[in-house]
Structure 1
Amino acid sequence: MIEAVIFDWAGTTVDYGSLAPVIAFKKAFKNAGIELSDDDIRQDMGMAKWDHIGRILELNDVKRQWKEKYSELPNNDDRKRIYKDFQQELIHYLKEYTELKSGVLKTFNYLKEYGIKVATTTGYTAEMMKVVQDKAAELGYTPELVVTSEDVKGLGRPSPAMIKYIMKEFNIDDPNKVIKVGDTLVDIEEGLNAGVKTVGIAEGSSLMGLSQVEFDELSNEEQILRRNEVKRKFESANADFVVNSIFDLVQIIEYLNEAMDKKW
């Protein structure tokens, strides 16, 4: 039987489209005179933010812009300065964008009703998560365990360290009894590296990159096309399952429980 579900935060349970970090990254880099596209940011979304900034600074276009502006490539001090700006910007925007996605409370209540433990992993720091966690709690979403890379010696995604930490805390030895749910490829990598079942969320995901309003304005045909694009990306990362919305997770849990019953 499934004993625990581990959710991501932005784009999975809160912040439809994972907008807050994108806005904060753009603002922090713009403060340094560098323009970023959404694609620049989203390709490594889900990583610990210090690592993510490092990845962005390695992009060819970013290095080109930096060289043109400063006549040299960015160094570790530059990275620290951008990270500090990013933290300040993100904490500001988190207060605005921490709204639960549709279906989160229904799914959370289902999990509680059936005694399935709920934990989370994230690319956010503990300071960032304090803002998100408090706001989510006001809205009724209260996971039992909220883990950041700071709890595991800085080992962020795609390392399995946060998931293994949660399993130890929950006294779960069998990874087949755990599901990791996320909206980025890094979420799936994290779950695969830990040996747990993985589920990708399509709608409201960072991979789709649309706000709720933008998605709702699409025609039915366009919505199907965008879901299928995201589904292919998750499948290419070897996700075990891909669902449209978080409430579809209930069907996955029931399917896995039934399969395990038959096995035994």
Structure 2
Amino acid sequence: MTTSTQPQAQAKRDEHTQPQAQLAVFDMAGTTIDERDEVYRVLRESAEREGARFSDEEFQKWMGTEKHWAIRNLLTIGGVEATDELVDKAFAWFRDELARTYTANPPSPMPRIEESFAALRAAGIRVGLTTGFSRDIADLILESMGWTVGGGEECTIDVSVCGDEIPSGRPAPDMINKVMEITGVDDPAAVISVGDTEVDVESAQAAGAFSVGVLTGHLTKEAFAAKNADAVLELAADVVNLPQVAAQ
């Protein structure tokens, strides 16, 4: 399976003509977990405390991306020379502050998402999580919510892939491709990818997956429509109602 760092434009597809789903891939923060936007508060502060200044619109472009890369770009557009030393320093602060925040006030599952995970897996559809978090932060979140990863019936999801485990983060398709590789799903048309940011949609399109935007983040239906998302749902849990899922 190949990887790419450039998202490919893709026209909106009809959900009624898609093959039955074999795999559902979900973003974490803002999609399947409610962490009260702490990640974006801490991400923004990690760059601003080094002197960077940028608009809300400029900041939003980096939501959902791998955080080390996001910090480097936020420093640059914020007028600060993003040396490797400074980026590493800002990222270390980001990671430590986010871990402290999540330990003090753990995230919670989005409404009905755990029931939807169980329903998907019971229907034979594998479930994966992808995130721009590093593995240590992702595991902290999963542990705090009691979510387990593995192929057993007692597990919450089948697999999780983090931004520091692949060559390129979103909007590249690498995380989705990695989940497909681990779960043995070869047909991207049988993959549903769900997220709350523009780069979630772009990553799905680059992978050839069915892209679903959810309205639990900062984007509107119109914003997702402008990105040619294949479907827009109120909640990630509603993915069970898509025709390629409900028909099973």
Q: What TM-score do the two structures reach when normalised by structure 1?
A: 0.77
Does residue 145 of structure 1 match 2:135?
Answer: no
Does residue 256 of structure 1 match 2:225?
Answer: no
Tell me which protein shows more strand as a share of its residues: 2
Measured after TM superposition, the shift of residue 16 of structure 1 is 5.3
CA–CA separation in structure 1 for the residues paired with 2:183 and 2:85 = 39
Which residue number corresponds to residue 246 of structure 1? 236
Residue 209 of structure 2 is aligned with which of 196, 203, 216?
196
- The question of whether the paired residues in 2 share the 8 Å contact of 1:7 and 1:119 is answered with yes
Residue 235 of structure 1 is aligned with which of 215, 225, 240?
225
Q: In terms of mean alpha carbon deviation, does 83-92 or 138-147 score higher?
A: 138-147
- Structure 1 or 2, whichever has the larger Rg, is 1
The aligned amino acid for 1:103 is: R
Q: Deviations over 1:242-263 (max 9, x none)?
A: 01112321111xx12578x9xx
- The question of whether the paired residues in 1 share the 8 Å contact of 2:52 and 2:75 is answered with no
The alignment yields a C-alpha RMSD, in angstroms, of 2.3
Equivalence map 1:68-217=2 (5 Å): 73-95=81-103, 96-137=105-146, 142-152=156-166, 154-202=167-215, 204-205=216-217, 207-208=218-219
The aligned amino acid for 1:4 is: L
Q: Deviations over 1:125-169 (max 9, x none)?
A: 0111110111222699822101113332x3211111111111122
SS in 2 for 1:146: strand
CA–CA separation in structure 1 for the residues paired with 2:43 and 2:58 = 10
- The question of whether the paired residues in 2 share the 8 Å contact of 1:123 and 1:148 is answered with yes
Which residue number corresponds to residue 61 of structure 2? 43
Q: What TM-score do the two structures reach when normalised by structure 2?
A: 0.81
Are residues 242 and 42 of structure 1, via their aligned partners in 2, closer, same or farther at CA, if it must alter by over 3 Å? Answer: same
Are residues 141 and 101 of structure 1, via their aligned partners in 2, closer, same or farther at CA, if it must alter by over 3 Å? Answer: farther
Which residue number corresponds to residue 27 of structure 2? 8
SS in 2 for 1:242: strand
- The question of whether the paired residues in 2 share the 8 Å contact of 1:22 and 1:38 is answered with no
Q: Percent identity?
A: 27
CA–CA separation in structure 2 for the residues paired with 1:163 and 1:103 = 23
Q: In terms of mean alpha carbon deviation, does 30-39 or 155-164 score higher?
A: 30-39
Are residues 160 and 34 of structure 1, via their aligned partners in 2, closer, same or farther at CA, if it must alter by over 3 Å? Answer: closer
The aligned amino acid for 2:32 is: T
CA–CA separation in structure 2 for the residues paired with 1:49 and 1:30 = 14
- The question of whether the paired residues in 1 share the 8 Å contact of 2:64 and 2:199 is answered with yes
Measured after TM superposition, the shift of residue 75 of structure 1 is 2.6
Q: Deviations over 1:51-93 (max 9, x none)?
A: 111221222xx21xx4xxxxxx443322221111111111122
The aligned amino acid for 1:134 is: E
**Aligned residue pairs, count:** 223
Q: Deviations over 1:193-214 (max 9, x none)?
A: 1101010001x21x24xxxxxx
Measured after TM superposition, the shift of residue 119 of structure 1 is 0.5
Measured after TM superposition, the shift of residue 190 of structure 1 is 0.8
CA–CA separation in structure 2 for the residues paired with 1:171 and 1:249 = 21
Does residue 57 of structure 1 match 2:70?
Answer: no
Which residue number corresponds to residue 211 of structure 1? none
- The question of whether the paired residues in 1 share the 8 Å contact of 2:21 and 2:192 is answered with yes
Unaligned runs of 5+ in 2: 1-19, 149-153
